[in-house]
Amino acid sequence: MILKLMRKEWKEIIKTGKFYALLFSFLFFAISSPAIAKFTPEIIKSLINSQQTQGLIIQIPPPTWKDAFLQFLKNLNQIIFIVLVIVFIGSIAEEKNKGTAIMVLTKGIDRSKWILSKFIFQLLVSFALLSISYILCLYYTFLLFSNFPIKNSLFSTLLYVIYLFFFLSLTLFSSSLGNNTIQSLGIFFGIFILLNIFSIFPNLNSYNPLYLSTLENMWITSYVELKEALKPIISTILLSFMFIFLGILHFKNQEL
Amino acid sequence: MNVIETYNLSKYFKEKKAVDNLNLQVEEGIVFGYLGPNGAGKTTTIRLLLNLVRPTRGSAIVLGEDITKSKNYLRKIGFLPDVPNFYNYFTPREYLEFFADILNVDKKRIDEVLEIVDLKREKRRIGTFSRGMKQRLGIAQALIHNPSLLILDEPTSALDPQGRKEILDLILSLKGEKTIFFSTHILADVERVCDRVGILKEGKLLLNDTIDNLKKKYSRRTLYIEVDNPQKLFIKLKEFPWVESLSLSNKNGILVKIKDMSLPQREIPRIIFQEDLFLFKFEFLEPSLEDIFLEVVS
């Protein structure tokens, strides 16, 4: 049943063009991140020369593959994150709001399966696009920097996968609680702001899912102790399952 | 056998009693008209029957299953909401393919139902459809899994006369084949297609009977009398306790509403004779469903 419901999700994102928006975003940042890292110092240098600032000495360290991947991760954590949330957050709330969910659920389709099909689908699409963009970014990094940073970048991207799992579960939870996209976005960013506030407390920060993005960068720039990474990984996975469970529970008992 | 049975079924929203102690039976194979003014609780009853909301009190058996314990019965129901919304990016065929897929229905059935609702050759996206076409597609999705019970929530309320006729013709074509539970506030539609009618007001079921019985029950309570001097008869009739209301109609006519027919049938001819009036017409008026409805809800 979940597979059949997922087939409809696939047709939906193709026909509404959402898939192409996601694909474009992922591909664009996979290609542009190494290019920006490579050419930014040269652009700055040429700007300085053209502005006749001969007395000014600006030292820019030569860019490396690390800059390319840091740029890629920054885009994943900011722009891609927002694009994914905007594309996926209405999937449950809007179906409730418009009444299209009722047409399916009154035919005896299990509510848990219906909501899970959406979540698994979003996860698979995001993971597939992330994998493609990761490989592409790796390839361009190799082309521009003649370096193949597979180990560090892979660990770092794996941390992003866990982070992706977390914010998609938060999307499911928010969309289950909200009655429309705006409400769902409010709930999502409300929780997100709370997590940001928690990151002020050093004791709580190492369990905060947002700490994963710091670790992603650290894995690129230096090295991360597995012990240090385990705390946020485990707490993020637990929190994700909690949001999935609560989202499904709420939706199952919700009056439509 | 009853397809729907409710026992003190109630749904309260804070202070409002949307459905209040509803005891309703709907027999298999009939077209049941569920009538009521706006806000009477018709849609809430349907939402209760479809497990979209939980009852505050009471229970219901639909297709032999307790709705509070099982959801399997939903597989045997086709439902059309009052304002159906679709995945507008699909064509009708794609939309029905989705339902056929999740309900394990043979793909041949898609052609059958598209033929029934006359959308077989329609290749455009649903988003471009008129209201009437969407309503027909709504019936198609309700029929896709060949359900034994169809629940239609105000299927004609927002349609133009042509669209209304199409939907009513469709319902008529399904009559006898399926049990149809049909909520509406348009009395002419009920009169045209329904076998039995239930009237709901403020969440309470005021009556549940066949249209024929209702007409019989209410028909012998209004008389139309034409005499040469209606004013004289009007004044005389006012004295009798069995007269509920009187009104002058046309030039020589009087409309007399009575509480019980047994006495007036003997008394009125006697009065006409005593008052030395010429009787032109004496007729029992057949009430329309609208008259019955207005009388019941008021």
Pairwise CA distance, residues A38 & A67, whole Å: 8
| DSSP percent split of chain B into helix, strand, coil, nearest 5 | 35, 30, 35
Cα A211 off chain centre by = 14
Contacts of A7 in chain B (CB under 8 A): 98, 101
Please, which pLDDT band fits residue B90 given cuts at 50, 70 and 90? very high
CA nearest to A232, candidates A208, A196, A198, A199: A208
Pairwise CA distance, residues B211 & B113, whole Å: 30
Over residues A61-72, mean pLDDT: 84
Over residues A166-193, mean pLDDT: 94
The arrangement of strands across the sheet holding B77-80 comes to B77-80, B149-153, B179-184, B31-35, B196-201, B204-210
Say yes or no: B161 and B292 in one domain: no
Q: Which long-range contacts (CB under 8 A, 24 or more apart) does A134-137 make?
A: A134/A30, A136/A27, A136/A30, A136/A31, A137/A29, A137/A30, A137/A31, A137/A33, A137/A34, A137/A68, A137/A69, A137/A72
Say yes or no: B267 and B163 in one domain: no
| B251 or A73, which is more confident | A73
Over residues A51-63, mean pLDDT: 68
Q: Given this model, what pLDDT does residue A25 score?
A: 93
Asked if the C-beta of A103 comes within 8 angstroms of chain B's C-beta atoms, the answer is yes
Please, which pLDDT band fits residue A14 given cuts at 50, 70 and 90? very high
Domain that holds residue B142: 2-210
How many domains, chain B?
2
Please, which pLDDT band fits residue A56 given cuts at 50, 70 and 90? low
pLDDT digits (tens, 9 = 90+) for A201-225: 877 788 888 888 888 888 888 777 7
pLDDT digits (tens, 9 = 90+) for B151-162: 999 888 777 888
- How would you write A180-193 as a 3-class SS string? CHHHHHHHHHHHHH
Over residues A119-138, mean pLDDT: 94
Pairwise CA distance, residues B27 & B32, whole Å: 8
Say yes or no to pLDDT of B26 above 90.
Answer: yes
The per-residue pLDDT of chain A, averaged, comes to: 88
Please indicate, yes or no, if residue B140 is contained in any of the structural domains: yes
DSSP string, A102-125: HHHHTTT--HHHHHHHHHHHHHHH
How many domains, chain A?
1
CB atoms within 10 A of CB B165: 14
Please, which pLDDT band fits residue A44 given cuts at 50, 70 and 90? confident
Say yes or no: B182 and B236 in one domain: no
pLDDT digits (tens, 9 = 90+) for A17-28: 999 999 999 999
Cβ-contact B230, B224 below 8 angstroms: no
Asked if the C-beta of A16 comes within 8 angstroms of chain B's C-beta atoms, the answer is yes
Chosen for mutation from A96, A103, A255 (greatest number of chain B CBs closer than 10 Å) is A103
Domain that holds residue A239: 2-253
Say yes or no: B203 and B224 in one domain: no
Pairwise CA distance, residues B91 & B133, whole Å: 12
Shortest CB distance from A5 goes to which of B79, B86, B102? B102
Q: A100 vs B71: CB contact, 8 Å cut-off?
A: no
For the domain that residue B289 is a member of, what is the CATH number?
3.30.70
Please indicate, yes or no, if residue B215 is contained in any of the structural domains: no
Q: A103 vs B84: CB contact, 8 Å cut-off?
A: yes
Please indicate, yes or no, if residue B188 is contained in any of the structural domains: yes
Q: B81 vs A7: CB contact, 8 Å cut-off?
A: no
Q: B53 vs A255: CB contact, 8 Å cut-off?
A: yes
What ipTM was reported for this prediction? 0.83
Say yes or no: B110 and B135 in one domain: yes
Say yes or no: B194 and B247 in one domain: no
The per-residue pLDDT of chain B, averaged, comes to: 87
Say yes or no: B186 and B291 in one domain: no
Distances (CA, A) of A125 to A7, A30, A122, B242, B281: 12, 16, 5, 77, 80
Say yes or no to pLDDT of A53 above 70.
Answer: no
Q: Tell me, what amino acid is at A163?
A: Y
Say yes or no to pLDDT of B50 above 90.
Answer: yes
Contacts of B83 in chain A (CB under 8 A): 99
Say yes or no: B197 and B87 in one domain: yes
Contacts of A4 in chain B (CB under 8 A): 101-102
Q: Given this model, what pLDDT does residue B127 score?
A: 92
With 0-12 CB in 10 A as exposed, 13-18 as middle and 19+ as buried, what is A225?
A: exposed
Contacts of B102 in chain A (CB under 8 A): 1, 4-5, 8, 104, 107, 109
pLDDT digits (tens, 9 = 90+) for B70-79: 889 999 999 9
Tokens of A205: 């920060």
Say yes or no: B176 and B47 in one domain: yes
Say yes or no: B182 and B263 in one domain: no
Give how far A168 is from chain B: nearest CA, Å.
23
Give how far B37 is from chain A: nearest CA, Å.
22
Say yes or no: B76 and B155 in one domain: yes
For the domain that residue B19 is a member of, what is the CATH number?
3.40.50.300
Say yes or no: B8 and B113 in one domain: yes
Would you tell me the crossing angle of helices B230-237 and B262-274 to the nearest 10 degrees? 130
Q: For B77, which residue in chain A has the nearest alpha carbon?
A: A107
Shortest CB distance from A16 goes to which of B47, B89, B99? B89
Please, which pLDDT band fits residue B282 given cuts at 50, 70 and 90? confident
Q: B103 vs A107: CB contact, 8 Å cut-off?
A: yes
Give how far B101 is from chain A: nearest CA, Å.
7
Q: Tell me, what amino acid is at A123?
A: L
Say yes or no to pLDDT of B87 above 70.
Answer: yes
Q: List strand residue ranges (DSSP E) for B186-293, in order.
A: 196-201, 204-210, 222-227, 243-249, 253-258, 279-284
Buried-exposed string B243-274: b where 16+ CB fall within 10 A, e elsewhere: beebeeeeebbbebebeeeeebeeebeebbee
Say yes or no to pLDDT of B259 above 90.
Answer: no
Please indicate, yes or no, if residue B68 is contained in any of the structural domains: yes
Pairwise CA distance, residues A253 & B249, whole Å: 58
**Domain end marker among B176, B210, B244:** B210
Cβ-contact A209, A232 below 8 angstroms: yes
